Amino acid sequence: MKKILVTGGAGFLGSNLCERLINDGNDVICLDNYYTGSKKNIKHLLNHPNFELVRHDVTHSFFAEVDEIYNLACPASPPHYQYNPIKTIKTSVLGAINSLGLAKRVKAKILLASTSEVYGDPEIHPQPETYWGNVNPIGLRSCYDEGKRCAESLFINYQKEHDLKIKIVRIFNTYGPNMNPFDGRVVSNFIVQSLKNEDITVYGKGNQTRSFQYVDDLVEGMIRMMNSRDDFYGPVNIGNPDEFTILELAEKIIGLTSSKSKITFMPLPQDDPMQRKPDISLAKKELKVWEPNIKLEEGLLKTIEYFKTVI
Ligand code: NAD
Ligand code: UDP
């Protein structure tokens, strides 16, 4: 039985990951300060003998004897990470330093949940891991983008300096059960608006694109990355390459919920990337033939059922 620490374990992705790791027979410590996550997401695990919950902020050091660390703690939705940008940077950077320090002390393998945001508003499409990105270092999104870029640098340098077993995944837009219905991300916003027959808020003309991945495909990819060969550090893109415009997403969700909602257009936020689609050739090669299995419509239907129970 492996002892595994998941930072940010009460969040959307963290709670799905904790559940899978418990079901696979591991001993899991879920660490969270509930900044954007919630105990509700992991309440069904609380009585499990192999699950422990710790309230802690990753900007402070933490000690536990573990074999593996999944470092996920960080707000991920633009309104949440922009609410307190300095805290977001501290969480990414100090959180990475503290988690790496722990990995070094207890000789644990450690995975960083990085992001497609390291590519910024990409000029290369789709984005391979070799692309260095187009990030505005002083823009509204920089607290998140640059925080994650710095965390990637910390991970690579801890590997080089201290021979740490590191893994970096760059996650592309992921959705599914346990998303906070009010976190302001596009999938949660559109589903909640549709279920309430409220206006669907498309920012800009809605011709910007995103590639949406269902959470189970991501969790599978992260675990495969953790178990990949020792000298494969990444970064590796984990996402679903099926690309949609935001307008297409709005129309799809209205259709799947049989909603009476109308689409309304609002200003595009500053530095909003125009296109995003992962090149997943590296993941397919290194993660033992991993590829996403769940199509957008199937994933949206599961997510809509979840949102019906929480709003
Ligand atoms: P989320 O906001 O639902 O979860 C983040 C969790 O981290 C929350 O439970 C929050 O309370 C916790 N947290 C935040 N600051 C903390 C701190 N200082 N100390 C301890 N805990 C803290 O977001 P998510 O979608 O689950 O994202 C999880 C990770 O995956 C993040 O690192 C995010 O950058 C990355 N990621 C997510 C996506 C996506 O589409 N969901 C895409 C790219 C990267
Ligand atoms: N978006 C939108 N309406 C919303 C929320 C988001 O049109 O109510 C757009 C947003 O401008 C962006 C895309 O949807 O172009 C994805 O936004 P999200 O915040 O989910 O993720 P990110 O921009 O980080 O990919």
Predicted confidence (pLDDT) per residue in 70-85, tens digit: 999 999 999 999 999 9
Q: Is residue 288's pLDDT more than 90?
A: no
Q: Report angle CA 180, 183, 55 to the nearest 5 degrees.
A: 60
Looking at the CA of residue 200, tell me the nearest atom of ligand 2. Answer: 8
| For residue 69, pLDDT beyond 90 | yes
* Statement: residue 25 has pLDDT above 90: yes
Q: Which atom of ligand 1 is nearest to the CA of 13?
A: 26
Domain coordinates in residue numbering, the chain: 3-174+213-240+278-293
**What is 3-174+213-240+278-293's CATH topology?**
Rossmann fold (3.40.50)
- Judged against a pLDDT cut of 90, whether residue 119 lies above it is answered with yes
Reported pTM: 0.98
28-53 pLDDT, tens digit per residue, is 999 999 999 999 999 999 999 999 99
pLDDT of the residue at 122: 96
pLDDT, one tens digit per residue, over 157-200 is 999 999 999 999 999 999 999 999 999 999 999 999 999 999 99
The single residue of 70, 81, 144, 233 carrying the catalytic annotation is: 144
Q: How far apart are CA 170 and CA 295, in angstroms?
A: 20
**Nearest ligand for residue 173 CA:** 1
DSSP states of the chain: --EEEEETTTSHHHHHHHHHHHHTT-EEEEEE--SS--GGGGGGGTT-TTEEEEE--TTS------SEEEE--S--SHHHHHHSHHHHHHHHHHHHHHHHHHHHHHT-EEEEEEEGGGGBS-SSSSBPTT---B--TTSTTHHHHHHHHHHHHHHHHHHHHH---EEEEEE--EE-TT--TTS--HHHHHHHHHHTTPPEEEETTS--EEE-EEHHHHHHHHHHHHTS-TT----EEES---EEEHHHHHHHHHHHTT----EEEEPPPTT--S---B--HHHHHHTTS------HHHHHHHHHHHHHHH-
Mean predicted lDDT score pLDDT of the chain: 97
Query: Confidence class of residue 289 from pLDDT cuts 50, 70 and 90?
Result: confident
Q: What confidence tier does 145 reach under pLDDT thresholds 50, 70, 90?
A: very high
Tell me, using a 6 A CB cutoff, whether residue 116 lines ligand 2.
Answer: no
> What is the pLDDT at residue 311?
87
